[in-house]
């Protein structure tokens, strides 16, 4: 009897505590983690572990993401990235994206913080969502390894059209080493992206986007970058679990006035992705850098093939072979294997 009374008192006393714990958990952000492991070997590569792009095994990147509504007006997202620091075998942590955005305004999303600029479709992807293991050649050479990812503000407006048409305008800092690296923290660069998508049928979509930016650079002049995306995606409404096809092309060019190594750079990347079974993808990519380009910069050609196996939505294994031809340099051949793992909250997939 004493035990029963004790148990009753215990249950009554702890119940509000459990309720509080449950209620507080309900307000916890959605948390997820993703990491990429890499093994690579290339004939022009080096074996120096201090370099982030070295031969052998490495943890390419780990990301921790937390997302939640802030209040009735805003949602916030914090994405921290851990990867090898430049010139060191140690890992560094940095805020890859930290921003808040509106959820209560019709037709427009306003955003402020640090985020990937809307400079084309690929620039907004996180590394684990890249269609290939690496970014397109021109993206890396013009925007740097991390892409254009700065502090700023953004407005993305859904235009009142019968097809999907979105205009994004942003004002970003000019800290990016490769593109701007401007001398003053007060410099601001505008970014604009106009994205359109049409359903050609229930199975096929066509996407067309144009983008551009301009800002001060480290040569006391201005840099501008612009380009376009062209994407066809096919996934049949019947049998679409087992087959799909994507053809995507990105053109990007830049003018870095005052740059002594060459002011103009331009390139194109085009790739196909073919899903041939429920969990298998085969892909190929061709790239050329040298369109309307300064003669002082070498022309580049690159071909890549990739085979991907995805055991589930939360894991993936990919093998990629690359051949890179750079003017006046020996050809580079590269083999890479990557694993991609996600845990935590279910991701909402972007199209």
Partner 1 sequence: MNKINVKILLLFFISLTAQAKLAVVTTTTDLKALVSEVGGEWITVDAIAKGTQDPHFIEAKPSYMTKTSHADLVVSIGLDLEVGWLPSILRGARNPKINPGEKGNLEVGPLLDPLEVAQGKISRSKGDVHPFGNPHVNLDPIRMGKAAVFIAERLGQLDPVHMTSFLEKAKALQRRFESKTKIWQTRIDKTKIKKIVTYHKTLTYFFDRFHLENPAILEPKPGIPPTSGHILEVIQVIKDQKIRLVMVENFFDSTVTHRLKEEVPFVRTADIPVDVDGEAQINNLDDLYEKLVQTLEGK
| Member of 33, 125, 197, 325 binding partner 1 (CB under 8 A) | 197
Q: Is 327 an interacting residue with respect to partner 1 (CB under 8 A)?
A: no
Q: How far is the CB of 327 from partner 1 (least distance, A)?
A: 39
Q: Is 21 an interacting residue with respect to partner 1 (CB under 8 A)?
A: no
Q: Is the dihedral of CA 276, 281, 282, 283 positive or negative?
A: positive
Instruction: Judge contact between 151 and 116, C-beta under 8 A.
Output: no
Q: Is 237 an interacting residue with respect to partner 1 (CB under 8 A)?
A: yes
223 vs 20: CA distance, rounded Å: 54
146 vs 123: CA distance, rounded Å: 9
Distance from first CA to last CA of the chain, Å, rounded?
63
Q: Is 18 an interacting residue with respect to partner 1 (CB under 8 A)?
A: no
Q: Is 126 an interacting residue with respect to partner 1 (CB under 8 A)?
A: no
Footprint (CB under 8 A) of partner 1, residues 260-289: 278-279
| DSSP assignments along 74-85, one per residue | EEEEEEEEEEEP
- From the list 229, 240, 227, 231, the residue with the least C-alpha distance to 200 is 231
215 vs 179: CA distance, rounded Å: 9
| Member of 235, 286, 325, 339 binding partner 1 (CB under 8 A) | 235
In the complex with partner 1, which residue's Cβ is closer, 47 or 278? 278
Q: Which window, 195-203, 264-272, 283-291, 323-331, contacts partner 1 (CB under 8 A)? A: 195-203
Query: One symbol per residue from 27 to 66: x for binding partner 1 (CB under 8 A), - otherwise; what is it?
Result: ----------------------------------------
Q: Which window, 16-24, 112-120, 248-256, 343-351, contacts partner 1 (CB under 8 A)? A: 343-351
Q: Please classify residue 174 by burial: count the beta carbons closer than 10 Å to its beta carbon, then call 0-12 exposed, 13-18 middle and 19+ buried.
A: buried
Q: Is the dihedral of CA 97, 103, 107, 111 positive or negative?
A: negative
Footprint (CB under 8 A) of partner 1, residues 85-124: 103-109
Residue 279's CB: how many other CB atoms inside 10 A?
13
Residues in touch with partner 1 (CB under 8 A): 103-109, 158, 161-164, 166, 195, 197-199, 202, 205, 207, 233, 235, 237-242, 278-279, 312-314, 343, 346-351
């Amino acid at each position: 009897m004493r035990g029963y009374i004790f148990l009753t008192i215990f249950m009554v006393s702890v119940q509000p505590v459990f309720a509080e714990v449950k209620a507080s958990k309900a307000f916890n952000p959605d948390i997820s983690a993703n990491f990429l492991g890499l093994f690579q070997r290339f004939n022009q590569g080096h074996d120096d572990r201090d370099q982030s792009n070295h031969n052998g095994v490495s943890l390419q990147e780990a990301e921790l993401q937390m997302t939640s509504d802030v209040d009735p007006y805003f949602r916030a997202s914090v994405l921290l990235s851990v990867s090898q620091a430049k010139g060191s075998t140690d890992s560094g942590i940095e805020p890859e994206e930290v921003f808040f955005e509106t959820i209560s305004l019709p037709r427009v999303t306003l955003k402020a913080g640090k985020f990937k600029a809307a400079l084309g479709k690929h620039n907004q992807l996180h590394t684990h969502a890249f269609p290939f293991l690496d970014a397109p050649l021109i993206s890396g050479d013009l925007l740097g390894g991390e892409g254009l990812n700065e502090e700023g503000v953004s407005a993305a407006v859904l235009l009142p059209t019968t097809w999907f048409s979105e205009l994004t305008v942003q004002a970003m800092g000019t800290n990016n080493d490769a593109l701007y690296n401007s001398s003053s923290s007060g410099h601001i660069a505008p970014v604009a992206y106009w994205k359109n998508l049409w359903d050609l049928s229930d199975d096929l979509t066509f996407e067309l986007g144009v983008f551009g930016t301009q800002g001060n650079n480290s040569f006391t002049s201005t840099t501008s970058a612009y380009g376009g995306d062209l994407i066809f995606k096919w996934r049949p409404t019947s049998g679409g679990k087992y087959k799909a096809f994507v053809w995507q092309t990105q053109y990007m060019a830049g003018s870095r006035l005052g740059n002594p190594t060459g002011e103009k750079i331009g390139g194109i990347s085009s790739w196909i992705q073919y899903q041939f079974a429920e969990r298998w993808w085969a892909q190929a990519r061709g790239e050329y850098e040298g369109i309307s380009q300064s003669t002082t910069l070498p022309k580049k050609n690159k071909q890549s093939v990739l085979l991907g196996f995805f055991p589930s939505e939360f894991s993936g294994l990919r093998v990629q072979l690359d051949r890179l031809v750079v003017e006046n340099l020996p050809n580079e051949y590269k083999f890479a294997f990557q694993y991609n793992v996600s845990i935590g909250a279910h991701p909402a997939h972007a199209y």
